[in-house]
Amino acid sequence: MGNSSGSTLEELQACESHQWYKKFMTECPSGLLTFYEFKQFFGLRNLSDTSNAYVETMFTTFDMNDDGFIDFMEYVAALSLVLKGGVQQKLRWYFKLYDIDGSGCIDREELLLIIKSIRAINGNPCEMSAEDFANMVFDKIDINGDGELSYEEFMEGVQKDETLLKTLTESLDLTHIVQKIKGDLGEFSKEI
């Protein structure tokens, strides 16, 4: 199609999707990724129990039809969210991920667990303890002070605060994982 703006980006994405597809089909010929394969796929090994639980939650949010597998469409949806999703779209996903028990609110324990798991996965040294960080988040965005973050509080509060937005969205570190995969894909395309 013509040279309308964005076509280069679209081409790039199409090309990327093609590579992602190859990687998926090579590593997962059955077309259905189990939790175990998911971890292998993203190079997540030797996880602590906390991190494992976190990655499992991540897996569950990607498994949209709840059949226990990530199929190619779910995989593509997850990737496009990670690679191209807007802030709102991503935050909505994070909220679902952070609300571990699915109660519709994020309580302090859920947030703490998430922060701890993220840190365990990323292995970044942090100045602030996970507890202090969780308290800071609640001080800032638990507007009605009920000790839970509603969807509205989360969406508004996080978007208004650059530090939180950066920490809570970058910290999930799918970007980091995706960078890693992109690295692998680089090698991968050389092999072909």
Residues 72-131 that bind Ca ion (CB under 5 A): 99, 101, 103
When asked if residue 63 is in the footprint of Ca ion (CB under 5 A), the reply is yes
Q: Which region, judged by CB under 5 A, interacts with Ca ion, from 88-96, 150-158, 166-174, 175-183?
A: 150-158
Instruction: Give every CB contact of residue 160 below 8 A, 6+ residues apart in sequence.
Output: none
Q: Which region, judged by CB under 5 A, interacts with Ca ion, from 1-9, 33-41, 90-98, 142-150?
A: 142-150
Q: Which is nearer to Ca ion, 132 or 146 (CB)?
A: 146
Measured from each CB, the residue nearest to Ca ion is: 103
When asked if residue 142 is in the footprint of Ca ion (CB under 5 A), the reply is yes
Binding Ca ion (rule: CB under 5 A), the pick from 7, 26, 48, 65 is: 65
When asked if residue 24 is in the footprint of Ca ion (CB under 5 A), the reply is no
Q: Which region, judged by CB under 5 A, interacts with Ca ion, from 9-17, 132-140, 153-161, 170-178?
A: 153-161
Write out the residues near Ca ion by the rule CB under 5 A. 63, 65, 67, 69, 99, 101, 103, 142, 144, 146, 148, 153
